Amino acid sequence: MKFISKFLFTLTLVITVVLGQHLKDVEIEAKVNELLHQMTFAEKVGQMTQFSGTNKRYEQMIREGKIGSLLNVIGAEVNNRIQKIAVEESRLGIPLVIGLDVIHGYRTIFPIPLAASASWDTVLIRKAAEIAAKEAASAGIHWTFAPMVDIARDPRWGRIAEGAGEDPFLGSAMTRAQVLGFQGKSLADPLTLLACGKHFVAYGGAEGGRDYNTVDISERTLREIYLPPFKAAVDAGVGTLMSAFNEISGVPTSANQFTLRKILKGEWGFDGFVVSDWNSIGELVAHGIAKDRLEAGVKGLTAGVDMDMEGRCYTTDMEALVADGTLSDGLIEDAVRRILRMKFKLGLFEHPYIDENLQKKLILHQDHIQTALELARESIVLLKNEKDVLPLNRKELNTIALIGPLADDKDAPLGTWRCQGKQEDVVTVYEGLKNKFGDDVKIIYAKGCDVKNNSRSEFNKAIKAARKADVVVMVMGESADMSGEAASRADLNLPGVQAELINAIAETNKPIVLVLMNGRPITLSNIESKVTAIVESWHLGIQHGNAVANVLTGDYNPSGKLTVTFPRSVGQIPIYYNHKSSGRPNNPSDKFTSKYIDLPSSPLYPFGYGLSYTEFRYTGIEVENNRLLSTDELVVSVNVKNTGKRGGDEVVQLYIRDMVGSVTRPVKELKGFQRVALEAGEQKTVQFQIPVRNLGAYDLDMNYTVEPGEFGIMVGGNSVNVLTTTVEVVRLK
C-alpha cells in the first residue's frame, strides 16, 4: 500500500510540474499572439534588429520600436536607463534583450573554453557558467553569445580557443554543461542568462584553418561531427543559436534553409530564435548570393535567421515585398514570435530592470575566484615530465630561474574574449610562485625575449640567471591576441625567438620546465627534446599563476587531458584522433601505406592524453553482455588502480569502433568518460552504461542506424593506450 501511495504522490508531482510548465508556455503563447497582433510592420522588423552599443539615435529608434536588442551595453545603471526608454517610452513597451559575449567569465575570468574542456569536468564547467551568469546578469546583461560549440580539427584556426576541441561527444557534454549553467533552472531567474549556441554551423571546418573561409563538407560529416554539439545545446534547452559567417558547400550558413529550417527548426523542433553573427546576413552580398542588403535580408529571413545583428538588412523596405507576395508575412511573424517568446520566458515584461545593488555584491566574489582557481588547476595538462623534475621539491631547491615573455605577463592569462576581465585581477606565474615559495626559494626572473619580436638583447641576462639556478622554469607561448577571432596562424611554432631562447638556455644543461601559455595546439618538435618537462597551461584566467604554482609544486596533481590533437608539424593538419582507416592505413614498415616520407604520421600528443604525478594501471576490461540488440545498453567495466605514491584524478575514456559498416567508420569514437579520484594504491572498478543506439551512424542512405556486426570497445587514459574487447550487435530475427 505504501508503495502505491508513494508512486501516486510522485506521479501527481510530476504531472503538476509538467502541467504547470505547460500552462506557463500556453500563457506565454497567448501573450505573444496578443502582442503580435498589435504590432505594426515597422515594430515587427524592429524586434528583429540588433545594434551594438547605444547613442542618442539608437535611443530614439528604441522609442519608435525600431530596435529589439542591443549588445555590448554594459552596467546595471546604463542598461536600466536604456530599458526604461523601451518599456516606458515606446508605444508597446516591449523590453529590449541585451546581449554580450560572456564566453569564459564576466569579470571573474575562467580558463578559455579549450583549456576548461581539458578538465573533462562538466560539473565544474557548469558551475563556472553559473557564476558568469550571476556576474553578467547583475550588470544588466540578459543574454550571452555562448557557448561556442564549433568542433575544430585545425589548430591554425584561432577560434579553436573558444570551443571544446575536436570531438563531438566531448563537445556535446561541454555544451550541455554550459547551457545548463548559463540558463539555470528558469530563464525568469534574474541572475541567469539566455544562452546562445554558436556558430551554426561547421564554422570550424574553414579551409586552411583560415577564419571566415570556405567550408566544404559532406552531409555525413556535417551530421556526425559538426551538428551533435548544437543538438546537445537544443536538447539542453538553449534559447538561441547564432548563425555563422561561413558557407557550407556553396550555401552560406546565414542563408541556409537546409541547416536552419530543415534540421534545426524542423527535425529538432527548435522553438527559440536564431540571431545572425555580426552582419553575416549583410555579408551574403560579399558571398555573392545577394545583389544588395534587401535581397540578403530576404534570403536570411527565408532561411530562418530571426534577428539581424548589426546587418541593417531587416527593414521596412521588406513591406513592399510582403505586399507584392515576394516575401511571406508569416516568416516575419514567426521570427517575431520566437523573439517575443524568449523575452517573456526571460521575465523581461514582468521584471525589465535589474537591482543595481547586486553588482558590487556578486562581481569578483571570493567564492568565484576560488572556483576559477579550481577550474584552472584541472585544465592544466602535463605533457612531459622526465627525471621526475616535477613536482619541484622545495626542500631540495635553492634557486629557480624564471624565464620567458609570459612569466610575469598579466594580459595573456585573460585569453581571447575576456569580456570585462581586467589585468589587475590576474595572478601571473611569477606571482603564483612567489605566493607558494615565499622566501624559502630564491626566484631569479629574466624575461629573455618578447612573444613576437625577434630581439635577442636579453638572452645573455636570461642565460646568466639559468646558470645560477637549480632548475629553470620557462613560461612561453602565445599572447592572447594570437588566438580567437580573426587570429589564424599559418606557422604553429612558438612565435618570435622563443625557441632560440630555449635552445640557448638548454646549453646550460640545467633542467628546464617549459610552461606553455597558448590558445591552440602549437608545434613543439623543434624544442621538445631540449626541455625536461612540459606543462600545458593555456590561458587560464585570473588565477593562472596560482594554478600553475599549485601544479609545479605538487600541491595539485595535474589531471588534465587534451581535447585536441597536438601535431608534430603544421604539415600534418588536419590531424585528429577519430580519423578513417583508409584502404592503406599507416604502417611505418610498409612504404605503400598512408604516411609522410619526412615525418611520422602520429601526432606529438594525441587526443585524450595527459600525464599525472602518479601512475594509473588499467586491467580487467569486461562487457556485461557481448551480444546486444540496438535497443540494449552496452555495459563495460574496467579496473583502474593508482600504482603510484600519491593520490590523483584520472579521466577514464571509452572509445568504440564499428568494425564493418555500410560506410567507412572512424577508427575510434569517444562514447564515454569519467573522472575518478584514486588514492595511492587504491583501485576502483569504473563502469560505463551506454545505450547501443549511441553507437550508430548515418548509413549509405543517410539514415541514422546501428548496423549489426562487431564493435571494438576500448578503454584507457588517452585515445592511444587502451585495453580492448569486442561486442556483437545483432538484429532481431
Cell 529590449 identifies what position?
A: 96
Which residues does the annotation mark as catalytic?
Answer: 277
x/- letters, 54..93, toward ligand GLC (CB under 6 A): -----------------x----------------------
Whole-angstrom distance, CA of residue 176 vs CA of residue 168: 12
Instruction: Specify the residue, 52 or 328, whose C-beta has the smaller distance to ligand GLC.
Output: 52
Of 176-205, binders to ligand GLC (CB under 6 A) are 198
x/- letters, 694..713, toward ligand GLC (CB under 6 A): --------------------
Instruction: Specify the residue, 29 or 485, whose C-beta has the smaller distance to ligand GLC.
Output: 485
Of the residues 145, 212, 459, 556, which one makes contact with ligand GLC according to CB under 6 A: 145
Grid coordinates representing 366 are 571570493
Task: Please report how close the Cβ of residue 474 comes to ligand GLC at its closest, in angstroms.
Answer: 33
C-beta neighbour count of 571 within 10 angstroms: 11
H or E element in which residue 513 lies: strand 512-517
Whole-angstrom distance, CA of residue 41 vs CA of residue 497: 59
Task: Please report how close the Cβ of residue 52 comes to ligand GLC at its closest, in angstroms.
Answer: 7
x/- letters, 238..277, toward ligand GLC (CB under 6 A): ---------------------------------------x
Task: Please report how close the Cβ of residue 197 comes to ligand GLC at its closest, in angstroms.
Answer: 11
Q: Which residue number has the CB closest to ligand GLC? A: 145
Task: Please report how close the Cβ of residue 71 comes to ligand GLC at its closest, in angstroms.
Answer: 6
Whole-angstrom distance, CA of residue 235 vs CA of residue 45: 29
- DSSP readout, 251-311? EEGGG-HIIIIIIIIIIS---SEEE-STTTTTTHHHHTS-SSHHHHHHHHHHHT--BEES-
Instruction: Specify the residue, 51 or 430, whose C-beta has the smaller distance to ligand GLC.
Output: 51
Instruction: Specify the residue, 102 or 494, whose C-beta has the smaller distance to ligand GLC.
Output: 102
Task: Please report how close the Cβ of residue 279 comes to ligand GLC at its closest, in angstroms.
Answer: 8
Instruction: Specify the residue, 243 or 498, whose C-beta has the smaller distance to ligand GLC.
Output: 243
Instruction: Specify the residue, 163 or 648, whose C-beta has the smaller distance to ligand GLC.
Output: 163
Instruction: Specify the residue, 293 or 668, whose C-beta has the smaller distance to ligand GLC.
Output: 293
3-state SS of 634-679?
A: EEEEEEEEECCCCCEEEEEEEEEEECCCCCCCECCEEEEEEEEEEC
Task: Please report how close the Cβ of residue 672 comes to ligand GLC at its closest, in angstroms.
Answer: 30
Of 394-413, binders to ligand GLC (CB under 6 A) are none
Instruction: Specify the residue, 113 or 391, whose C-beta has the smaller distance to ligand GLC.
Output: 113
Instruction: Specify the residue, 163 or 696, whose C-beta has the smaller distance to ligand GLC.
Output: 163
How far, rounded to the nearest angstrom, does the alpha carbon of residue 155 sit from its chain's CA centroid? 14
Comparing CA positions, the residue from 215, 96, 118, 135 lying closest to residue 171 is 118
Size of the site for ligand GLC (CB under 6 A): 7
Q: Are 689 and 723 in contact (CB under 8 A)?
A: no
Cβ-in-10-Å burial (0-12, 13-18, 19+) of 304 comes to buried
Task: Please report how close the Cβ of residue 101 comes to ligand GLC at its closest, in angstroms.
Answer: 5
Whole-angstrom distance, CA of residue 533 vs CA of residue 405: 18
Of 271-290, binders to ligand GLC (CB under 6 A) are 277-278
Under DSSP, is residue 508 helix (H, G, I), strand (E, B) or coil?
Answer: coil
3-state SS of 184-243?
A: CCCCCCCCCCECEEEEECCHHHCHHHCCCCCECCCHHHHHHHHCHHHHHHHHCCCCEEEE
Cβ-in-10-Å burial (0-12, 13-18, 19+) of 598 comes to exposed
Grid coordinates representing 577 are 584522433
Task: Please report how close the Cβ of residue 443 comes to ligand GLC at its closest, in angstroms.
Answer: 39
x/- letters, 605..644, toward ligand GLC (CB under 6 A): ----------------------------------------
Question: In DSSP terms, which residues pair with 672 in a beta bridge?
Answer: 654
Of the residues 317, 485, 500, 615, which one makes contact with ligand GLC according to CB under 6 A: 485
> Looking at the chain, how many residues does it have?
733
Whole-angstrom distance, CA of residue 474 vs CA of residue 538: 14
DSSP 160: G
Under DSSP, is residue 119 helix (H, G, I), strand (E, B) or coil?
Answer: coil
Comparing CA positions, the residue from 639, 620, 624 lying closest to residue 692 is 624
Task: Please report how close the Cβ of residue 480 comes to ligand GLC at its closest, in angstroms.
Answer: 16
Instruction: Specify the residue, 241 or 354, whose C-beta has the smaller distance to ligand GLC.
Output: 241
Torsion angle, CA of 176/181/187/192, rounded to 10 degrees? -150
**Does position 142 bind ligand GLC by CB under 6 A?**
no
Of the residues 43, 101, 211, 247, which one makes contact with ligand GLC according to CB under 6 A: 101
Task: Please report how close the Cβ of residue 127 comes to ligand GLC at its closest, in angstroms.
Answer: 23
**Does position 431 bind ligand GLC by CB under 6 A?**
no
Cell 529571413 identifies what position?
A: 301
Q: Which residues bind ligand GLC (CB under 6 A)?
A: 71, 101, 145, 198, 277-278, 485
